[in-house]
A and B are shown apart, each in its own frame.
Chain A
Amino acid sequence: MIQVLKILCAVALFFTLAPVSARADDRDVIEYRQHIMNTLNAQAAALGMILSGAIPDDNAIAHLQALALTAKTALKAFEPKVQGGEAKPDVWTNWPDFAKRMNDFAQKSAEIGKLANEKGKDAAMANVLDALPCKSCHDIYRSEKKN
């Protein structure tokens, strides 16, 4: 009887711990959203270099378009509730707030992309920081270097 209880406890413990470690499919989910966030990071870094005058602004409009499109894909990638990578559990426990921030980001970056197309890169770059609320969201929802 004690032996059976021990086995049942072990099985229960296994299922309790299982959600903590990502399965193969879960790893795909984590990697997919990381591809998107890494693209956002690279595009934002490029725009930062243009803003600081470190590199020419020839590609400014294209970067703004790439940023806006990437922002549009991000929310979908976080929909599966799979913990891991740099995402804090708060992403899913505070989902309405997280989703609202992602939607705001996608909308603002799209507006800047539109502004770039209509009024040119100078007008868009002057307002680009409004479209990049990266830090305020990362402060709440991202665990740095937790891969």
Chain B
Amino acid sequence: MIRALRILASLALVFAVFLPMTASADDQDTIDYRQDIMKSMGEQAAAIGQILQQKAPPDNFAVHMQILAISAAMAKKAFQPKILGGEAKADVWEKWPDFAKRLDELTAATADLAKTAAAGGVAATAPKIQAALTCKSCHDLYQEQKKQ
């Protein structure tokens, strides 16, 4: 009887503690998908940064801004399934209203930047970028660095 209880307790422990931490195949798809979107945002932000530092030609500037805005608008949907893993901290879902609000603000800010870039190029957009691209403040709260 004690032995049976021990086995049951072990099984309960496995299901309660370990399983939620291990992503299933479907969960991995969810993680991969949101990482594809965040990767796009990171790459586009880096390209924009290079242009601002005059390390890359400005020709594509407005297009990079547009891609960043489109990617930002997709991000919230990708984080809606509550699947822990990748670089996302559990706080993403525990503090969902704040996280969602930040993504909505980023979406609005990047859409505005894209509009400015299309009309006025680098010169008109550069002064607005630092205030609009709040990547770090959000990553400090919600991103686990290099935990894949």
Which residues from chain A sit less than 8 Å from chain B, CB to CB? 25, 28-29, 31-32, 35-36, 38-39, 42-43, 45-46, 49, 54-56, 58-59, 62-63, 65-66, 69-70, 72-73, 76-77
Q: Which residues of B contact A56 (CB under 8 A)?
A: 77
- Measured between beta carbons, the chain A residues less than 8 angstroms from B66 are 69
- Give residues 53-90 of B contacting A (CB, 8 Å): 55-57, 59-60, 63-64, 66-67, 70-71, 73-74, 77-78
Tell me which residues across on chain B come within 8 A of A38, comparing CB atoms.
39, 43
- Report which residue of B40, B50, B55, B57 has the largest number of chain A beta carbons within 10 angstroms of its beta carbon: B40
How long is the Cα–Cα vector from A35 to B64 in the complex, in angstroms? 10
Contact B60 A77, beta carbon cutoff 8 Å: yes
Which residues 7-47 of B have a CB within 8 angstroms of A? Answer: 26, 29-30, 32-33, 35-37, 39-40, 43-44, 46-47
Complex Cα spacing A65 to B72, Å:
13
**Which partner residue on chain A sits nearest B60 by CB separation?**
A73
Whether A62 contacts B29 by the Cβ 8 Å rule is: no
Q: Is chain B's binding surface mostly helix, strand, loop or mixed?
A: helix
Total contacting residues, chain B, CB less than 8 A: 30
Question: Which of B26, B47, B63, B71 lies in contact with A35, CB distance below 8 A?
Answer: B47
Say yes or no: B29 contacts A69, CB within 8 Å.
Answer: no
Flag if B77 contacts A45 (CB, 8 Å): no
A45:B43 contact, CB within 8 angstroms = no
Bound-state CA distance A79–B86 (Å) is 35
9 contacts between A and B (CB under 8 A): A36-B47, A39-B67, A45-B36, A46-B36, A59-B37, A59-B77, A65-B70, A66-B40, A76-B59
Set of chain A residues within 8 Å of B32, measured between Cβ atoms: 45, 49
Candidates A28, A35, A46; contact of B44 at CB < 8 Å = A35
